[in-house]
Amino acid sequence: MTFTIPTPVREIGTFLIALLGAVLGIINLLLTWKRGRVCVKVIPKSFFGVDPDTGTPDSRFYFRTSNGDTVPKYLCVDVINKGVATTVNEVGFLLKDTNERFVIMNQFPSRKIQIPFRLEPDSSVTVYADAFEADTVRDVAKFKCAYATVASGKRFTGRGQMFRMFERYADVID
């Protein structure tokens, strides 16, 4: 006794297999396209020192505002490569309502790196800015986002939770 699949069922099965193949082909195309391009994630952060005796944050790493809040003196930018290997030429912050940039030129001495630097796939580098001086700290309130420019000229930007507190830098008293 032989068993035969009815023609409508066989056609539906063939169609579903062809549809699955087409969907998998499109997914493979998108993954290949994404894997072969430059993609950099930029994350602004702050950092502070810890008093070795007490284990608490060191007050020398903060500015005070007029209402008694503290804001960090030191900012840094994480640059994470999510794509192909690339060279990062410039890291810093963009300013609001202008085309000007605040490029990180003076780095924290013990964490200084050579710029430009090469980023391999799935690697990251943190660029630590040196402490802001009292006369330039008010410019931090004008920061719009952090950025990194790669060798091709493309600029990648990023905003983090840090940017909610940047407005407080306009109020720094010391």
| Strand, helix or coil for residue 172 | strand
Give the pLDDT confidence score for residue 81 in this predicted structure: 93
Which residues in 136-146 are b (16+ Cβ under 10 Å) and which e?
Answer: ebeebbbbbbb
DSSP code for 131: P
Measured CA to CA, the distance from residue 13 to residue 7 in angstroms comes to 10
User: Measured between alpha carbons, how far is residue 157 from residues 24, 95, 136 in Å?
Assistant: 32, 12, 22
Q: Tell me which range, 17-31, 37-51, 101-115, 153-167, is most confidently predicted by mean pLDDT.
A: 17-31
| DSSP letter string, 134-164 | TTTGGGGGGEEEEEEEETTS-EEEE--GGGG
pLDDT value, residue 1 = 63
Residues forming beta bridges with residue 149, ordered by sequence position: 90, 155
Give strand pairing partners of 155.
149
- Asked if residues 95 and 102 have their Cβ atoms less than 8 Å apart, the reply is yes
> pTM of the full predicted structure?
0.74
Q: What is the pLDDT of residue 87?
A: 93
Considering the chain, what is the average pLDDT of its residues? 84
pLDDT at 112: 85
Residue 149 · residue 155 · CB < 8 Å? yes
Q: How far apart are CA 73 and CA 61, in angstroms?
A: 5
Percent of the chain whose pLDDT exceeds 70: 98
